[in-house]
Structure 1
Amino acid sequence: MKILVTGGAGFIGSHIVEALVRRGHRVRVIDNFFSGHRGNLAAVKADVEILRGDCADPAAARRSVRGIEAVFHEGAIPSVARSVAEPLRCHRANGTATLTMLLAARDAGVRRFIYASSSSVYGDTPTLPKRETMEPRPLSPYAAEKLSGEHYLRIFHRLFGLETLSLRYFNIFGPRQDPSSPYSGVISRFTTALLAGQTPVIYGDGQQSRDFTYVGNVVDANLRALTARGLDGEPVNVAAGRRVVLRALLSALARELGRPDEARHEPARAGDVKHSLADVSRARRLLGYRPRWDLEGGLKKTTAWYRESHRLRDRRSG
């Protein structure tokens, strides 16, 4: 199958690209390289067509979908904090780009469109676990942008027959998550600080909790979405289905890396939710999805990658 991955040089997108290539698909990537890196595709660069372009640009979008059968739309600025600081810029990357890609996909006869949404759409809904039937209560421009994308996918299925699915990602972590990026997740920031001998920063009291999901589980869900039947634009949670308190997470990382278990606390950030936990039963029914990697296994793979990256940086700087 000929497949397009937007944001394919990024953290999650590059893992999806690798998995698709391993399964024999022909893969095209479009990325503006604002936060993605060509190095993320080093293992498959000979087998992937790479386009530099902006998904919010109609001409670039049309060029990217020519001859494509399915789209994985991973391109975004995945940051609550950045969306609060720069809502218009983030809306272009997250909202306008999604609609532009949907229009291009419809006009090019693309059959299936899989969208990277976010657990942030649930906002401060107090009930746990989060189920797709709950009313969204977004707290940030980023969450509102992701929710608008879900609505567009639902509408494009109903009006134009495009097979669509929104995957609500819950706190993804793993190798290639750039710790220097302002969009980096808490696990990459904690790990990098610990390896550098610094004290990690926790925003708030550290008692907030998250459903941390290893990137391998996200790849598995996307691959299943490529062949699943009955896609009708409705959202599906992709998570581990386990809640972990941030302070406990830091302790686990400190033990894994043999570093002091210390934290520096800063005020809580605007737009952040307090607790998050997913019900993944719909993903199990629709996709046959079951998390293959638990937190401990994912942390081992992730810290091993960061250790190696840290050693390589030390060699280059020495």
Structure 2
Amino acid sequence: MVRHLLVTGATGGLGAALVRAARARGHDVVATGRSADKARALEALGARFVPADLAEAGDLAPLVAGVESVIHAAALSASWGAREAFVRANVTATARLLDAARAAGCRRFVFISSPSIFASFRDRENIGIDAAPADPPLNDYARTKLAAERMVLAADSADMACCAIRPRALVGPGDRVILPKLAELAMRRRMPLPGGGHARVEFTDLRDAAEAIMLAEDRAPDIGGIAINISGGRPVAVRDVAVRLAAALGTNSELVTLPVPLARSIAVVAEGWGRLTRSAAEPVLTRYTLATLACSQSFDMAPAERLLGFRPRHDALETLLAEAAQWKAKR
């Protein structure tokens, strides 16, 4: 059934993929974000672009007027920054949008959460749908995404079905997080691998993530109050990613094993200095980044298949390598 959708965070890589997927289904789409520079590309997809800062004081009623479904992908996604900025972008904005959507009579609200809530200094394989998040979360991004997710799920009702999707490590066109960070490491003369790079990670192709989210939007009345983990379903060792990425970028970095206890000490000191000096620049190593590289994290995909009918169709590592090759060609 064709619906009138609002997609927030539409100027990001996932947001653009969502607009594309929604339009392919024939939905009418209002796309919003803070970067008006990308409005033309979204309008070319058939969306109506409305620039907005969801956390800014002001009435959101015009944004959600006539909207039947909200897909809330807007967020401050980073491993470092001021706590107030994360609260504003990830909690305050979500609360305001929830209230506006409810008042406007929206029937569905899909929140894009994050598996960063599980990041910890231990291996967690085949994480299930009811798995407990890390306690405490490793950074303010994970902390505020968890708070926002709980807020959305608690708002589920017969009037507005609310659910959440947690896509893991998104790669593809528009990725401004994963590839830039990995490329920075691969361009160094010596590439440090915590624990020798034996931890296993999962990536998710942006197209698969968008498909899963659209399936959740379609089935929201049946999965209200539930958060579902999404990934490409193909765990791969960090060391293998490093080797293949270096080849794609044409670099010849020496892979160096970094003992995890030493790396953790470095991260603690680096974070402490960053807070003491109120530095806006991300420390050379954070506990969150270390945990994602040194400890395995993979998901049980059975709930996504059972509840959404979702199966990943793309090899996310190959997508990452293809993007790396294009990135190299443009340099």
Note whether the superposition's TM-score is higher than 0.5: yes
Task: Output the amino acid matched with 1:57.
Answer: E
Distance 1:218 1:281 in 2: 16
Compare 259-268 and 209-218 and name the one that shifted more: 259-268
Alpha-carbon contact 1:20-1:27 (below 8 Å) kept: yes
How far off is 1:48 after superposition? Answer: 2.0
Query: Structure 1, residues 23-80: CA drift from partner, whole Å, max 9, x if none?
Result: 32221122123xxx73486264372221221111353532211111111101001112
The whole-number CA distance in structure 2 between the counterparts of 1:200 and 1:167 is 36
Cα distance change of structure 1 residues 127 and 247 upon mapping to structure 2, 3 Å threshold = closer
Structure 1 residue 204: Cα displacement: 4.1
Q: Which runs of 5+ in 1 are unaligned?
A: 179-183, 312-318
Matched, 1:231 2:223: yes
Partner SS, residue 157 of structure 1: coil
**Any conservation in 2 of the 1:5–1:28 contact (CA below 8 Å)?**
yes
Match of 2:161 in 1: 163
> Could you tell me how far apart the structure 2 residues matched to 1:40 and 1:260 are?
39
Q: Is the 8 A contact 2:115 2:166 kept in 1?
A: yes
Higher RCO (C-alpha 8 Å, min separation 6): 2
Q: Does 1:189 align with 2:171?
A: no
The Cα shift of 1:226 comes to 2.1
Displacement of 1:130 after TM fit?
Answer: 1.3
Give the AA of the match of 2:58: A
Structure 2: how far apart are the matches of 1:292 and 1:172? 14
- C-alpha distance in structure 2 between counterparts of 1:215 and 1:243, whole Å: 16
Cα distance in 2, alignment partners of residues 59 and 32 from structure 1: 15
- Once the two structures are aligned, what percentage of the paired residues are identical? 27
Does residue 295 (structure 1) correspond to residue 323 (structure 2)? The answer is no
Letter in 1 for 2:83: P
Aligned match of 1:118: 114
In 2 relative to 1, CA 199–22 (structure 1 residues): closer, same or farther, beyond 3 Å? farther
> Which SS does the other structure have where 2:162 is aligned?
strand
Alignment of 1:1-318 (within 5 A): 1-33=3-35, 38-39=37-38, 42=41, 44-45=43-44, 47-57=46-56, 59-82=58-81, 86-124=82-120, 126-137=123-134, 138-158=137-157, 161-178=159-176, 184-185=177-178, 187-191=179-183, 199=189, 204-205=194-195, 207=197, 208-228=199-219, 229-262=221-254, 267-268=266-267, 269-272=286-289, 273=291, 274-307=295-328, 310=330
Q: Distance in 1 between matches of 2:97 and 2:190?
A: 38
CA distance in 2, matches of 1:215, 1:46: 17
Say whether the 8 Å CA contact 1:70–1:110 is kept in structure 2: yes
Consecutive aligned runs of 4 or more in structure 1 exceeding 6 Å deviation:
none
- Structure 1 pair 38/244, CA: closer, same or farther in 2 (3 Å)? farther
Contact 1:175/1:305 (<8 A) preserved:
no
SS of the residue 1:59 aligns to: coil
| CA deviation after TM superposition for structure 1 residue 289, in Å | 0.6
Cα distance in structure 1, aligned partners of 2:166 and 2:154:
17
Residues 133-165 of structure 1 show CA distances to partners (whole Å, capped at 9, x for unaligned) of 11112222211211112211221114x631111
Please list the CA deviations of residues 79-116 of structure 1 after superposition, one character each: whole Å capped at 9, or x if unmatched: 1223xxx1111111011111111111100011111111
CA contact (8 A) 1:191 1:306 kept: no
3-state SS in 2 of match to 1:115:
strand
How far apart are residue 295 of structure 1 and its match?
3.1
Tell whether the 8 Å contact from 1:65 to 1:105 is kept in structure 2 after alignment.
yes
- How many residue pairs match? The answer is 295
Q: Which runs of 5+ in 2 are unaligned?
A: 268-285
1:301 to 1:110, Cα distance in 2 relative to 1, 3 A: farther
Alpha-carbon contact 1:76-1:94 (below 8 Å) kept: yes
Q: What is the CA–CA distance in structure 2 between the aligned matches of 1:191 and 1:41, rounded to whole Å?
A: 29
Name the CA distance, whole Å, in 1 between partners of 2:185 and 2:150.
Answer: 38
CA contact (8 A) 1:150 1:233 kept: no
CA shift for structure 1 position 253: 1.3
CA distance in 2, matches of 1:146, 1:223: 20
TM-score, normalised to structure 1's length? 0.83
**What displacement does 1:203 show?**
7.3
Change (3 A) 1:162 1:175: same
Measured at CA, do residues 175 and 143 of structure 1 come closer, stay the same or move farther in structure 2, by a change above 3 Å?
Answer: same
